[in-house]
A and B are shown apart, each in its own frame.
Chain A
Amino acid sequence: MSYGFLALNDDNDVLISSDTKNLHFAGKATKPNTAAFSFTNHGQHQELHYSITFPNRTSIPVPFFTIPHGMVGIAGVTGVNSGSSSKTWTIKIIKSGLIQSTGGNNDFMPEVYVFTDPTAIPTSGTHGFQVFNSDGSVSFDSRLRPLTVTHIGSALQPANPLSSSSAVTLSGNECADINNNAFTPTQYNIASFGAANDDDWPRTGGGTEGAFTPMYHYNALPQVQREISFAVTSSNCTGIGIYGECIGYSESTTSQSTYWCFYRGGIGHHHRSNGNKMRVAWIPCQSGCHWVTSTNALFLALFGPGNSSASGGAWPYTDETINLTAQNVLVANHSFYD
């Protein structure tokens, strides 16, 4: 560089540069009192809407969420929403399972720490250290608290949330078992943090880190839809059955029901005796069933109304994965910003 400011650490990594912007802590997002939406089948999920207000509409929040001790399940950011004119952002997080409440507080609801560029964060004080970009915007401000991302992990869900052993037998008759829980996800992977034997979720921080209390930025981009079909056939004979043939009025009905579930990706803690790792798994988001019934009715095997069919229910997307590539997990120490 011919001009500007550049600070590197011992590993030659960039800490502050007039060519970039440091993300700074904007505040903790306001927790919701209740879930905005709850899905009650297949292991359940809740959608939580947090909010934070910025002084401008040009900066975009980068949310990090905690995984509180005692929180069961996995979580991910589904996105941020600014509405059409408001400077208040809604941060949408989904997590599997139900929030456990004690004492009227959602003790096991994730905390959300929000970071953004310095232009969206009010400052106070008359001393400190600022770095500016070539366009005159602030890159770094020591009066604020810059984000130190301590680790970046790689998270990739298994292609199928279900194991073959979790398949069950459901009714093929017009989605009669639609209130099943057969699609509760059972499969997961472990996130990778790069170094050998370093898949334990990060517990050590950098120079200004105290006790390491991880928070995560992970976007629930991956999606998967899985479906299972069951068929049932029945026949009735009003008359006399001889050698398998119906002398009279016969009716043969075949019904096929396709049960399905749609998932989003998430991360969570994976507690094991040999370490604490990060689980990469699926959150059930929606489910349904579609059925088709065909009937063949004949009199004396020759005459009659013949074939007819009916269908109903919600049709699945198809049996597929969407955006299933490894996503980055950014890790930082939230106690530094409390």
Chain B
Amino acid sequence: MAYGLQTFHSTGALSFSSADVTWNQVAAFQVGAGASSSVSYPALSGRTVEVVQMFINPPPTDRKALAHTVSVSGTTVSVSGGNETVFILVLMQ
């Protein structure tokens, strides 16, 4: 490559390059059952944001499990509702 960034393992193998595409973790946090959270992350400004939600200590699959409602407004990620503890992963590009 003529310009950019590359990182290599000690073996010499290329591990990461500015020709790659990725989504970075801005934040990862737990929200309890029935709890809510609203946090502003300045790093999200002007970026494409995706939020992934995963159950922590999940209920059996034969039981109704309400996920939290997740919304992104500007740089603020809000999480509310739900009857299970969830792990929230905020990604940006």
Contacts and interface: CB of A to CB of B under 8 A. Distances in A.
Tell me, yes or no, whether A binds B: yes
Contact of A152 (B23, B42, B53, B89): B23
A17 B10 contact: no
Contacts of B28: 21, 60, 117
A44 to B, nearest CB: 13
Interface string A1-45: 000000111110111110111110000000000000100000001
Contact of A9 (B7, B21, B57, B61): B21
A200 B11 CA distance: 35
A223 B65 contact: yes
A176 to B, nearest CB: 22
Contacts of B18: 7-10, 15, 207
A207 B19 contact: yes
Nearest to B52: A328
Given A15-B22, A117-B28, A152 B50 contact: yes
A143 B13 CA distance: 11
What size tier do the contact residues of chain A reach?
A: 35 or more
Contacts of B16: 15-16, 142, 146, 148, 208
Contacts of B64: 223, 225, 262, 317, 322
A294 interface: no
Nearest to A142: B7
A253 interface: no
Given A60-B28, A80-B54, A143-B9, 9 more contacts: A22-B22, A79-B57, A81-B56, A207-B17, A217-B52, A223-B65, A225-B64, A264-B61, A286-B62
26 contacts: A9-B20, A14-B22, A15-B22, A15-B24, A20-B25, A20-B92, A22-B24, A60-B28, A62-B52, A80-B55, A80-B56, A81-B58, A142-B7, A145-B9, A146-B22, A148-B20, A149-B23, A152-B23, A152-B50, A206-B21, A219-B53, A285-B61, A322-B64, A322-B66, A323-B66, A323-B67
